[in-house]
Amino acid sequence: MTKEKITINPAITKEQLRFEVDKLVYGDGMTYTEICERKEIDPEDMAKLIKGPLKSKLEVEAMDRNIIKRTTSKLY
């Protein structure tokens, strides 16, 4: 019996994720939700991995498309 070498690719870092998303949005004109669909990542899971402006943009777009529930209430 021969042993096969198994290689495991390291997980992507938050910085790499942010760079890739920015490249796809601003370079290729994709939306944040299109990126999640292409990469087969649930937008709610993606939101857990990121923070700051990128997270806000993803959440707003996902709420506008009714992919995730609205978390903000209307001001009266």
* Structure confidence at residue 9 (pLDDT): 63
Question: Which of helix, strand or coil describes residue 70?
Answer: coil
Residue 56 backbone phi and psi in degrees, to 5:
-60, -45
Asked if pLDDT for residue 76 goes beyond 60, the answer is no
- Residue 36 CB-density burial (10 A; 0-12 exposed, 13-18 middle, 19+ buried): buried
Q: What is the pLDDT of residues 15-39, one digit of tens each?
A: 887 888 888 888 889 888 788 888 8
Mean residue pLDDT of the chain comes to 77
* Structure confidence at residue 8 (pLDDT): 64
* Structure confidence at residue 72 (pLDDT): 61
Structural domain spans, the chain: 14-64
Report the 10 Å Cβ neighbour count for 49.
Answer: 14
